[in-house]
Amino acid sequence: MNSPFSLAKAYEKYFRIGAAVSHLNIDSYRDLLAQHFSSITPENELKYSSTEPEEGVFTFDDADKIFDTARSLGIKVRAHAPVWHNQTGEWMYLNGDKPAPPELIYERIDAHSRALCERYNEDVYAWDVVNEAARDDLSSEEEASASDVYRGSKYFRMTGTGFIEAAFRSMDKYSPNAQLFYNDYSECEPGKRERIVKLLKNLQQKGCRVDGFGMQQHYFFEPDYDELKRSIETYAGLGLRLHITELDISLMATINPGTKRLKPDDPGFEEYIKESLHPTPAKLAKISDIYVKLFDVYRSYSDVIDCVTTWGVADDYTWLDHFGGAPGMPHVKQYPLMFNADHTPKPCIEENIALAQRG
């Protein structure tokens, strides 16, 4: 009897296969999720703006829809990023008309963590407890933080690293059976990698339970596979489990000759726009080819990688369609995922299944 045509089934001996979903599109992806995936990540539905828009006022309808669907499919949930510098209401930082003291912010994080865990613990196997707290190289906000490691977010300016520690201690208390992850992007860039390692080591030294690191893996240029391997080994060397958490491959990766995301004022950006408006079959095929090469690396590190999640399911819905542009710029459709807009599989699905089954 032939093996089922299922990416999740083919990879169950290696790692889970996951996808980020929205409450707005999960119904349309039900069949794909059932066939090819073994993990679901709510894209925005567990962030503060979605679950606690005002202090003590909880709104779970959107998240419930995702959890109900996951439960009906028998799929566990990677719960994503309640503590993040974006999508957090101003109430978090205020005590009346004055700035909130750190202790009040910690209390609010604790109360929020408790509410999420009481509602969803049964279905969650891992939490992205804190998202993107390490600084980038260039940002006026980050430069103002006077930190060589941490993003100069409002959280950090008001509490230092205390908000990160408070979030992990709360999740450890209320979700003792789930894995706890720190999650970040540009994690293979050497400078950012060094900052992330310092952040993680600091948490470990403070006695916080950190089970793993989430490597986002958004690609806007051809992956440096040697740097990817070096990064996996570096993070695993801290004694952490690894998840690939937000994998996608922009059309830019098929055009950009550099190692940084092209931005509107950068040389080469206009050429990227022109080529992307009418992508050739060869450019689209290259995205599929990159997925095969990446999965080859991920399989080779399946002793430390437990899950690979794409940031979306199919090309009909992707955040990249609305990211990185500028006013007046033509709309660029992206094709960053492993399934086409009509939900048919790209060649990388069949090839990756065959490679996994071959061992």
Give catalytic residues, as residue numbers. 132, 246
The Cα 30–Cα 36 span in angstroms is 10
The Cα 291–Cα 173 span in angstroms is 38
Tokens standing for 335?
A: 């094709």
Tokens standing for 2?
A: 């032939």
Tokens standing for 303?
A: 């002793």
- Do 280 and 255 contact (CB within 8 A), yes or no? no
The Cα 278–Cα 341 span in angstroms is 16
CB under 8 A, 24+ apart: contacts of 92-98: 92/48, 92/55, 93/154, 93/158
The Cα 251–Cα 230 span in angstroms is 25
The Cα 167–Cα 133 span in angstroms is 12
3-state helix, strand, coil in the chain (%, to 5): 45, 20, 40
Q: Strand pairing partners for 94?
A: 99
Nearest CA to 175 among 119, 133, 238, 245?
119
Residues near 146 by Cβ (< 8 Å), separated by ≥ 6? 152
Give the amino acid at 159.
Answer: T
Q: Is 184 helix (H, G, I), strand (E, B) or coil?
A: strand
The Cα 357–Cα 326 span in angstroms is 44
